[in-house]
Amino acid sequence: MSSSESIVKPPVHEYKENIEICDNPLTTRYASKEMSFNWSPKKKFSTWRELWYALAIEEKALGLSQITDEQLEEMKKHLEISEEEIEKATEYEKKFRHDVMSHIHSFGDSCPTARSIIHLGATSCYVGDNTDLIQMRDGMKIIQTKLLRVMQLLKIFSLKHKDLPCLGFTHFQPAQLTTVGKRATLWLQDFLFDFQQLVFQLDNLPCRGVKGTTGTQASFLHLFNGDHEKVKQLDNNVCKRIGFKKSIGVSGQTYTRKVDYQILSVLSQIAQSAHKMATDIRLLMSMKEIDEPFEKNQIGSSAMAYKRNPMRCERICSLSRFVMSLVENTAQTHANQWFERTLDDSANRRLSLPQAFLGVDGILNIVANVCNGLVVWPLVIEKHVQSELPFMATENILMAAVKAGGDRQTLHEVIRVHSMEAARRMKEEGAENDLFQRLVNDEHFKAVLSEENIKEMLNPKLYIGRADRQVEEFILNEIDIIFAEYEDLIPEASRDYQLTV
């Protein structure tokens, strides 16, 4: 049965916190219920049962007469695992020290007629690895939708502020002007690249399929009396039944753990993009040019009541660093697998895979919340622009003065002297930038340019280049194409990603 047809649905009840055990902040504070359920024991173990059921159906269809319709019907009735059945499996595991065998026995207790054919020909990785891939696939689909929402919000913001001039910064020093909207397209482009990488992984993700103990399919070849074509057909049919286009070409006991690395690399890229954007916003907040959302009763500091700390963006950065660090686990795990398989991957993967998905889910929830409520302060931005613009405008002023009959070398020296003095007063005395007034009052410029001529050259929009056009062109040529292709996946504009805490 394909993922879209799964009988396992997220619970409707609220999460109840147990204050006597260590919780996982990713599930209690940051990630959505949707993503938390995707990595829950209920989803995992119910998927195991769906995989056993899929295997039995396809084995019977290919001629295994020992599998009956009665057995299949009995299995179908117990695909969604209950809390009691999970508890029973836990008791079995204490005895067997084997998680898959404990669940085979628990499933068999619920399906006594089918007990004898559950897991027929399979190895533990048939349910374990295929379930991991199903959870990663379904997790990527959740993330795909949230990435589209973030891109949608950044598109709106970029267009709204496409021609609002602001200081550009290189080396965190004032540089040539850009616009607020153009800067936002840099964030948007990063998420676009992440989206494209995510789509590639989704389109090319294989399932492990039906491969047997060491990947040779020997047990299935024995079941089908040496019929290679039936074994190949079994693998193909099960693969399609669980919602994949293909199974991995060859495997040991497990699918290559390089797949985990590739997927977590994409999640890391999303975290990198979010971290860069959030860092930019934090810096802009310190300059009071932009604010992240701040609620009416929100408290910025327990000591300094006036503060509006960038809590959301700081949280994005914090979670992003955690997600980025998890990629190293998958690299080491893949590199350290011996021959067809060693079990030193298991405990690590139980931690790193779900936490990477839960982390990125939480990050994108906060990013969407921030992007949906960003506040821009144009007058503060204009003040900062005007403090630097006279320096940036001097080349245009010089050219205009020369065209009007002035001596280029003389005027260049006049500008240099006045610029140095204006900069000195700004730094030593905290004075405003008076370079414009100095040039207006200088006799060398008075002779060739009027005050109005010079003032016209201090319009910030003269110095933003093609920034506003670049915003329009980038969105039209790259972003809107993605939105048209994935229109059905874009969440409703009214959807609001509220923070849990």
Does 306 have pLDDT greater than 90?
no
Answer for the pair 55, 233: CB distance below 8 angstroms, yes or no.
no
3-class DSSP state of 283: helix
What pLDDT does 497 receive?
A: 65
For the ranges 36-40, 116-120, 403-407, the lowest mean pLDDT is seen at 403-407
- Greater confidence (448 vs 186) lies with 186
Q: What is the pTM assigned to this prediction?
A: 0.91
Active site residues: 171, 301
Under DSSP, the state recorded for 128 is: H
Does 295 have pLDDT greater than 90?
no
Q: What percent of the chain has pLDDT over 90?
A: 79
Does 304 have pLDDT greater than 80?
no
What pLDDT does 307 receive?
A: 54
What pLDDT does 453 receive?
A: 84
Those residues whose C-beta lies under 8 Å from the C-beta of residue 461, and which sit 6 or more positions away, are: 163, 165
Average pLDDT over residues 284-289: 96
Does 297 have pLDDT greater than 70?
no
For the ranges 189-203, 207-221, 423-437, the lowest mean pLDDT is seen at 423-437
Average pLDDT over residues 372-381: 96
Buried b or exposed e, range 193-218, using 16+ CB within 10 angstroms: ebbebbbebbeebbbbbbbbbebebe
Based on the number of CB atoms within 10 Å of its own CB, is 189 exposed (0-12), middle (13-18) or buried (19 or more)?
A: middle
Average pLDDT over residues 436-446: 88
What pLDDT does 112 receive?
A: 97
Distance of CA 101 to the CA centre of its chain: 35
Answer for the pair 209, 130: CB distance below 8 angstroms, yes or no.
yes
pLDDT range class, residue 4, cuts 50, 70, 90:
very low
Q: Give the C-alpha separation, 348 to 260, whole Å.
A: 12
Share the mean pLDDT of the chain: 92
What pLDDT does 11 receive?
A: 56
Cβ neighbours around 174 below 10 Å, total: 17
- Greater confidence (497 vs 291) lies with 291
Does 296 have pLDDT greater than 60?
no
pLDDT digits (tens, 9 = 90+) for 204-245: 999 999 999 999 999 999 999 999 999 999 999 999 999 999
Those residues whose C-beta lies under 8 Å from the C-beta of residue 43, and which sit 6 or more positions away, are: 8, 37, 135
pLDDT digits (tens, 9 = 90+) for 396-414: 888 888 988 999 999 999 9
Q: Give the C-alpha separation, 466 to 157, whole Å.
A: 18
Does 3 have pLDDT greater than 50?
no
For the ranges 170-179, 282-291, 484-493, the lowest mean pLDDT is seen at 484-493
Q: Give the C-alpha separation, 32 to 11, whole Å.
A: 12
Does 17 have pLDDT greater than 90?
no
Those residues whose C-beta lies under 8 Å from the C-beta of residue 174, and which sit 6 or more positions away, are: 167, 168, 388
Q: What percent of the chain has pLDDT over 70?
A: 93
- Greater confidence (498 vs 25) lies with 25
Tokens of 8: 């396992």
Average pLDDT over residues 286-306: 69
Q: 396 to each of 60, 176, 239, 251, 480, how far by Cα in Å?
A: 82, 13, 66, 66, 37
Backbone phi, then psi, for 500, in 5-degree steps? -70, -45
What pLDDT does 208 receive?
A: 97
Q: Give the C-alpha separation, 189 to 216, whole Å.
A: 44
Q: Is the dihedral of CA 287, 292, 293, 298 positive or negative?
A: negative
**What H or E segment, with its residue span, contains residue 384?**
helix 378-403
pLDDT range class, residue 491, cuts 50, 70, 90:
confident
pLDDT digits (tens, 9 = 90+) for 320-345: 999 999 999 999 999 999 999 999 99
Answer for the pair 396, 456: CB distance below 8 angstroms, yes or no.
no
Average pLDDT over residues 109-123: 97
Q: 159 to each of 164, 167, 231, 284, how far by Cα in Å?
A: 10, 18, 56, 19
Average pLDDT over residues 295-312: 62
Q: Give the C-alpha separation, 66 to 60, whole Å.
A: 8
What pLDDT does 235 receive?
A: 98
- Greater confidence (1 vs 375) lies with 375
Based on the number of CB atoms within 10 Å of its own CB, is 44 exposed (0-12), middle (13-18) or buried (19 or more)?
A: buried
Q: Give the C-alpha separation, 38 to 164, whole Å.
A: 42
pLDDT range class, residue 449, cuts 50, 70, 90:
confident
3-class DSSP state of 304: coil
Does 368 have pLDDT greater than 90?
yes
3-class DSSP state of 305: coil
